[in-house]
Chain A
């Protein structure tokens, strides 16, 4: 039993995790007749909370309630994985990434994310507020403007060769590189 727990607690390499994530595409199509995507859940939440307030939210969100259960499931699955199938060890970042994090002044690399940035107690810091609230706002606004996120565009859209999805992915990297190389060094060091 202990050997099983230890085996099941190991993180998965990309060549196991990636193909399984890819199976979300046919599973959604075959079981739900819907395309795989997570960010639509934000829109359905708006449509459910403030119906008829804006034309963009005036649609039958109940027909897409499966998507809200999907994201509830993500939280449950992540809870189970973290509680029962996790070593709790630091993420095996590349040496280059570790060096860069230390250069940025992040010393505690023991968790999934820097504890000095992400936590309720850190909300008094301007940089935490910006990254959590500002970042979250941009994730919501940007996905809806672009018409999808990493799952809807990068995985689902590219899987059926959608030009807008390729363009969106180029945008994802434009924004990501700006933060990674511009904003982060400015905020952290």
Chain B
């Protein structure tokens, strides 16, 4: 059941990423040059809707579909890792013009060369797994 829900949510998200032009390298460069409100509007309004939803879910004590209380764990308080990892990710985001969601969306929408970026990203995660004990967190 979870797999079916995941697939359906993914199809919706993929459609949105194309319709919103979030998968465009040009849009990402425009964002990092502060030359348009488009990307800021998308991320900002998404956070507003997300935060309101979390507030309502917590207030109402809503349960998930399987009847369990909703688990919302805090992110690990690894501030060095968040900044250092975030910076490395930011470099990659601006180079590929895509964060992970848009990378998959690019492959689906026909820019299949981005399959190589995904494979390289998976390799990057593997290398992180190998060296993480030696990195500051």
Q: Which residues of B contact A173 (CB under 8 A)?
A: 32, 90
How many angstroms between the C-alpha atoms of A80 and B2 in the bound complex? Answer: 22
B132 x A179 contact (CB < 8 A):
no
Among B5, B77, B91, B124, contact of A164 (Cβ-Cβ < 8 Å): B77
Given the contacts A22-B47, A54-B130, A150-B93, A112 and B111 also touching, CB distance less than 8 Å: yes
B23 x A42 contact (CB < 8 A):
no
Closest to B124 in A: A140
Measured as residues with beta carbon below 8 angstroms from the partner, the interface class of chain A is: 35 or more
Closest to A94 in B: B36
How many angstroms between the C-alpha atoms of A179 and B115 in the bound complex? Answer: 22
A65 x B3 contact (CB < 8 A):
yes
Chain B proximity of A43: nearest CB distance (Å):
5
Among B44, B49, B84, B111, contact of A23 (Cβ-Cβ < 8 Å): B49
A25 x B128 contact (CB < 8 A):
no
Give the secondary structure class of B's interface: helix
How many angstroms between the C-alpha atoms of A139 and B96 in the bound complex? Answer: 9
A132 x B16 contact (CB < 8 A):
no
Q: Which residues of A contact B94 (CB under 8 A)?
A: 135, 175-180, 183-184
Q: Which residues of B contact A73 (CB under 8 A)?
A: 6-14
Q: Does A4 contact B (CB under 8 A)?
A: no
A175 x B89 contact (CB < 8 A):
yes
B13 x A142 contact (CB < 8 A):
no
Closest to B64 in A: A33
Chain A proximity of B2: nearest CB distance (Å):
4
B89 x A139 contact (CB < 8 A):
yes
A132 x B41 contact (CB < 8 A):
no
Q: Does A5 contact B (CB under 8 A)?
A: no
Chain A proximity of B25: nearest CB distance (Å):
4
Q: Does A7 contact B (CB under 8 A)?
A: no
1/0 per position for A139-160, CB-CB distance to B under 8 A? Answer: 1111111111111011111111
1/0 per position for A27-41, CB-CB distance to B under 8 A? Answer: 111111101101101
Given the contacts A75-B105, A77-B105, A180-B33, A164 and B46 also touching, CB distance less than 8 Å: no
Q: Which residues of B contact A132 (CB under 8 A)?
A: 96, 113-114, 116-117, 120
Closest to A171 in B: B86
B99 x A22 contact (CB < 8 A):
no
A25 x B42 contact (CB < 8 A):
no
Closest to A127 in B: B95
Q: Which residues of B contact A130 (CB under 8 A)?
A: 95
Interface residues of B (CB under 8 A from A): 2-33, 35-51, 53-54, 56-57, 62, 64-66, 68, 70-79, 81-101, 103-114, 116-130, 132, 135
A-B contact pairs, 26 of them (CB 8 A): A11-B21, A14-B42, A32-B64, A42-B121, A57-B129, A73-B14, A74-B104, A78-B106, A78-B107, A78-B109, A85-B18, A118-B114, A131-B96, A138-B89, A150-B93, A155-B46, A159-B53, A164-B76, A168-B86, A171-B89, A174-B90, A175-B92, A176-B32, A179-B94, A180-B29, A183-B91
